Amino acid sequence: MTFWCEHAQLPDGVAARVRLVVEGGAIAAVERDADAEPGDERLAGLVLPGLANAHSHVFHRALRGRTHDDGGTFWTWRERMYAVAARLDPDRYLALARAAYAEMALAGTTSVGELHYLHHRPDGAPYDDPHAMAAALVQAAADAGVRLTLLDTCYLAGGLDATGSMPLAPEQRRFSDGDAERWAARHEGVRTLAGERVVVGAAIHSVRAVPAAALGTVVAAAAGAPLHVHLSEQPAENDACRAAYGITPTRLLADHGVLGPRTTAVHAIHLTPADIGLLGSSGTAVCACPTTEADLADGIGPFPALTAAGSPLCLGTDQHVTSDVLVEAQRLDAHERLRTGERAGLGPAALLRAATEHGRRALGQPGGRLEPGAPADLVALDLATPRTAGTDPAQTVQVATGADVRTVVVAGETIVRDGVHRLGDVGALLADAVAPLWEDT
């Protein structure tokens, strides 16, 4: 199988007339300045490596356009999130995740990191199959054609204050296994869901939800796999951690062996200079989710300082204000320009690395570059739309959105062709999946 690209984003820049020879789902050869040959699949426009969405809560997709009527805060937003979570069972979870992953694919995402904590029934009792909810996510990703890193999440406490960890609220019971040892035991079973396009990793929901004494158990269970953690998304989290432990959340994680090159800190907004140094010197990746961070009024993170300190930067769509990694990249760049008052921003090359190879690395997945040996995950952007016409292909990442995606290929298999997903009408799938979650509310 061979793809002929009008333009392709190669590791050293954009090149014209590139042939990508694919064997066994991977790129076997990259031929530059090549003519198309009979049998080649022609990809017009600009071909990028498949985009990586390093942080998703797929059930939050049901909240889009449903939480803006009365303002509020991050903490009041959570109440509606809990209400939606309570209405999900394995079948509804599968329907929503399948549609949401297909929507991501339409926008060029080929790899998704799903931070999953809807483990049990709403009352906290396990399903007959204790992995039914996780299996629904794996099936949804397979149906949508995307790669999945399933981040099985430890969630044990209802919050944190000066007295320590707080009991779970009723709406949080389904998230918890009771203690870290029982989470680790269940996690061993979740690992059996790994496959050719599925990586199983772990997550610490946050220092609010996982007591300090339990952190080491999660780290041990995740050994050799990706480990993600929400970090310092809100000042209140930092205040609670200092009140309970006398140190920042980053310091707490460092002291318990959580940080390191296999770990990704999600958000990492409200950091001290010492926190930045701990994350960077340990090689801990940082995942920015700019549209969510703007929607929830979280703030703007010190992302250039983190990358300068040594933390690779990746991107996630989190609560799915948009399911478009290109928009996340552009919003990240815009936030930095607004923060500094300078147009330098992060630049197309850094944004592309965040959206591709750094995201794949955070997910424990190889690739993210168009080079021999990399997975044949490709995204073709139309360079003749009202958004992209007349642009320099090398700067397309600054202006294109998911609406400009025409073709998406995963492991050499085309899952989006001419802007249409193989599952058909994704809008209808989403509408059908979301509607039952808001009935009688």
Is 73 a residue whose pLDDT tops 90?
Answer: no
Nearest to 228 by CA among 286, 184, 273: 286
pLDDT attached to residue 67 = 77
What is the C-alpha to C-alpha distance for residues 228 and 149, in angstroms, rounded to an integer?
Answer: 11
| Tens-digit pLDDT profile for residues 278-311 | 999 999 999 999 999 999 899 999 999 999 999 9
Q: What share of the chain is helix, strand, coil (3-state, %, to 5)?
A: 40, 25, 35
pLDDT attached to residue 65 = 84
Q: State the residue for tokens 């006398």.
A: 246
Q: Is the dihedral of CA 401, 403, 409, 410 positive or negative?
A: positive
Environment class of 15 (CB within 10 Å of its CB; exposed 0-12, middle 13-18, buried 19+)? middle
Lookup: tokens for 166: 């707080």
Q: What is the average pLDDT across 52-67? A: 92
> Which residue in the list 318, 324, 333, 382 is annotated as catalytic?
318
Full-model pTM: 0.96
Q: What is the average pLDDT across 235-240? A: 96
pLDDT attached to residue 71 = 66
Q: What is the average pLDDT across 260-272? A: 98
pLDDT attached to residue 68 = 72
pLDDT attached to residue 75 = 64
Is 275 a residue whose pLDDT tops 70?
Answer: yes
Percent of the chain with pLDDT over 70: 98
Question: Confidence class of residue 362 from pLDDT cuts 50, 70 and 90?
Answer: very high
> Which residue in the list 60, 116, 230, 267 is annotated as catalytic?
267
Q: What is the average pLDDT across 129-134? A: 98
- Angle in degrees, 0-180, between the axes of helices 90-106 and 426-434, rounded to the nearest 10: 150
Q: What is the average pLDDT across 378-404? A: 96
Residue 40 bears catalytic tag: no
Environment class of 195 (CB within 10 Å of its CB; exposed 0-12, middle 13-18, buried 19+)? exposed
Q: What is the average pLDDT across 304-324? A: 96
Nearest to 39 by CA among 90, 93, 1: 1
pLDDT attached to residue 66 = 79
**Secondary structure, 3-state, 366-429:** CCCCCCCCCECCEEEECCCCCCCCCCCHHHHHHCCCHHHEEEEEECCEEEEECCEECCECHHHH
Is 167 a residue whose pLDDT tops 90?
Answer: yes
What average pLDDT does the structure give for the chain? Answer: 95
The SS3 of residue 296 is coil
pLDDT attached to residue 350 = 94
Lookup: tokens for 294: 């703007």
DSSP 318: B
What is the C-alpha to C-alpha distance for residues 418 and 424, in angstroms, rounded to an integer?
Answer: 12
Is 409 a residue whose pLDDT tops 80?
Answer: yes
pLDDT attached to residue 441 = 61
